[in-house]
Amino acid sequence: MKVIICGAGQVGWQIARHLSGERNDVTVVDSNPDLVRRATDSLDVQGIAGFASYPDVLDRAGARDADMIIAATYSDEVNMVTCQVAHSVFAVPRKIARLRAQSYLTAIYSDLYRRDHLPIDVVISPEREVAEAAMQRLSAPSTFDTESFLDGEAQLLGISLDDDCPVVNTPLRQLSDLFSTLRAVVVGVRRDGVLFAPESGDQLFVGDSIYVMVHRDDISRTMEIFGKTHRKQERVVVVGGGNVGLSVARSLEGRTERIRAKVIERDRKRAEIAAEALERTIVLHGDGLDQVLLSEAGVERADATLCVTDDDKTNMLAAVRAKAAGCPMVIALINDPTLVPLMEPLGIDAYINPRATTVSSILRHIRHGRVHSVYSIGDAEAEVIEAEVLSTSPIAGSRIREIDFPEGVLVGAVRKGEKVVKLSGDLRVDEGDMIVIFALAKDVPEVERLLQVSIDFF
């Protein structure tokens, strides 16, 4: 597949890395020559320096025979015009655009993106993706990270193990014996700052942060096994009333169970917009770092505080203040992945990485060949890959114990037909199965080789 990626920032670079690793013909376009050089030096891609919306630039990038264009520059308007030019001039079959401004995303204007108007096949909204990720965190309040796979049938849960975890110092193979019907697999463990894929003889210790892939029907039971109780969310404080905070507050209002939410927004105009848009949510104008204002919002009585301003440090400090005031669950929006290791020492329960959610969403919409979605863990330390097993894949027809996976790789879930099955070493992976694999970054190329289709498949 020939793909043009417009925008070589973090999102564009990550998508280019995934698609070039899957042996696609990828060209990266960006107006910044340094970003283009970084992509071509570190990835197996071609690069063009220039404005993505210019027809001559797209022509040089190979738009005449491209299968897809992904417009992920920092400008909504450039992304929209790029898709229009790709359609009108070069007849590119599939066009994906990242759009931030909420006005472009309002449902009543959805006709705008029809093929005979502004031809965009898939619109990705980072704010909406982040808001959905925030709602996922709130739905599993005892986890520090969550992501859905297999159309919601399987969930990745990040769980920190405390003193009251009943299964610490227990080899993982014994957990399989003790809970024989449980459809859950510990796929990753972070210990002393190092992430690894555990073996069956490994034990879990207090202070470990683990990643568990679990069937959605077994989430509550899994949480109990690892010493976590499900807390009902009745009061939520949202720090930040921008696009993300507003989307979260709207989602909370739309829930069937009644949730009392309060939003704190520093910018008066934004606060007024949020107050007008929300029906039952109280909006407070002021600084989310102000202890008096946090107290006025009732943070000490809240079940969760969500910090989603556009500044990482503000989010971290507001979360720390909310935690110090007595809020049991604090979540911070973090754009800079190098700040993630500070989350645990600061007592921040969970974080949301907007780049990871946006990249995952774009890859999920591409759905070409085998890879359906990819979720990045930490600072690109590992990936969880959901893929279809095709007949030409080396793993098709093999039992899990027979597959020569690297030591940093574990199978987390397998769906056969419509059913997610319990994993065992004897389970055979067949053509057409959907498989979810945890892989440390260094082992991703080998996983891609094992999932690789042969050239004659197409």
DSSP 226-255: TT--PPP--EEEEE--SHHHHHHHHHHHHS
Strand partners, 415: 420, 434
**Can you read off the two tokens belonging to residue 242?**
């921008």
Residue-range domains of the chain with CATH:
2-124 (3.40.50.720), 130-225 (3.30.70.1450), 235-328 (3.40.50.720), 357-457 (3.30.70.1450)
Closest CA to 304 of 356, 364, 239, 381: 239
46-55 LR contacts (CB < 8 Å, sep 24+): 47/8, 51/78, 52/6, 52/7, 52/78, 52/79, 52/82, 53/78, 53/81, 53/82, 53/85, 54/85, 55/85, 55/89
SS3 label, residue 144: coil
Residue 303 CB contacts under 8 Å (≥ 6 apart), including other chains: 141, 231, 232, 233, 234, 235, 236, 327, 328, 329
Helix (H) or strand (E) holding 86: helix 76-88
Q: Give the type of residue at 266.
A: R
- Nearest 5°: the CA angle 352, 357, 363 is 165
Residue pLDDT tens, the chain, 458 long: 899 999 998 889 988 987 887 678 999 999 999 999 999 999 999 999 999 999 999 999 999 999 999 999 999 999 999 999 999 999 999 999 999 887 887 766 777 777 777 888 888 888 888 888 888 777 777 788 888 899 889 999 999 898 888 999 989 988 888 888 889 999 999 998 899 999 989 999 999 999 999 998 888 889 889 988 766 678 999 999 988 899 889 888 887 778 889 999 999 999 999 999 999 999 999 999 999 999 999 999 999 999 999 899 999 999 999 999 999 999 999 988 788 888 889 999 888 888 778 887 787 676 444 777 888 887 678 889 998 898 888 899 999 999 989 999 999 999 999 899 989 889 999 999 999 999 998 898 888 788 864 433 33
Residue 283 CB contacts under 8 Å (≥ 6 apart), including other chains: 241, 262, 263, 264, 265, 271, 274, 275
Do residues 298 and 262 make contact, with C-beta atoms less than 8 angstroms apart?
Answer: yes
Closest CA to 46 of 65, 64, 60: 60
Q: What is the DSSP letter of 203?
A: B
Closest CA to 80 of 92, 93, 97: 97
Do residues 5 and 29 make contact, with C-beta atoms less than 8 angstroms apart?
Answer: yes
Closest CA to 355 of 373, 376, 372, 326: 376
Q: What pLDDT is recorded for position 107?
A: 66
Q: What pLDDT is recorded for position 380?
A: 72
Q: Which residue carries 């197996």 as its tokens?
A: 44
Q: What pLDDT is recorded for position 287?
A: 94
SS3 label, residue 184: strand
Euclidean distance between CA atoms 3 and 96, whole angstroms: 11
Closest CA to 118 of 76, 156, 85: 85
Q: What pLDDT is recorded for position 458?
A: 32
